[in-house]
Amino acid sequence: MNPFDLAGRVAIVTGGNGGLGLAMARGLARAGALIALAARDENKGQAAVKELISSAPATRFYAFQASSASSCRKLIETVVGDFGAYFGHIPQSFTGELYSFGPRFYLRKPGSRFVPFGQALFGGSHFSMSPPGISGGGTQFAFGLGGGGDITLKHNGRFALRGQAEYFGIRTNGDTTPCTRLSVGIVYRLGSGRAAGS
């Protein structure tokens, strides 16, 4: 039995339109695999397909951006649809880090224990996808809008109960990945009580 007999298996080769990715695609094609090339440059991708089609006639190219969650998901779903089988797990679980900064505006009324606020946030994000092996590198632009309110727990006190809701959009290659966040917590007001910190 040939341990490198991949007949009937589908190989998705990211960056397969040149360099090491193309070399890997050549080896997989010689072993009998069906090749799905995924990369950003479609011209180079189609040229690679023409080269590989003699040893892997079903070779196809897919435009793909590794830093885009929607592009990763679309790639796998499209390949599954085209080739009819996928032995693995279609990524549905995403983890990431989001960092943001921006102004927060308070509406204070003398004598009121409730202080509403609104905020506009800007920053970036990084994500990783489950199962391991596909991850987004670099920074994607992120923006957020939200608001909430502080309720002073004791008259003229520094502690307050805060509730807030935010909408975030993460921009990658023209797509916006939306997410929302709801949070409740205790805040301690610094200084004279005119400024609040969380």
pTM for the full model? 0.44
- Give the start-end residues of each E strand in the chain: 10-14, 34-39, 60-63, 93-101, 104-106, 114-130, 134-135, 140-152, 159-172, 175-188
Task: With beta carbons less than 8 A apart as the criterion, state whether 64 and 34 touch.
Answer: no
157, two tokens: 């006190």
Nearest Cα neighbor of 135 from 178, 72, 63 is 72
CATH of domain 93-188: 2.40.160.20
| Alpha carbon distances (Å) from 172 to 90, 98, 129, 193 | 20, 14, 15, 40
Q: For 53-85, what is each residue's pLDDT tens digit? A: 888 888 999 998 887 878 888 888 888 888 875
Q: Whose structure tokens read 């409730």?
A: 114
Low-confidence ranges of the chain (pLDDT < 50): 1, 86-93, 130-138, 193-198
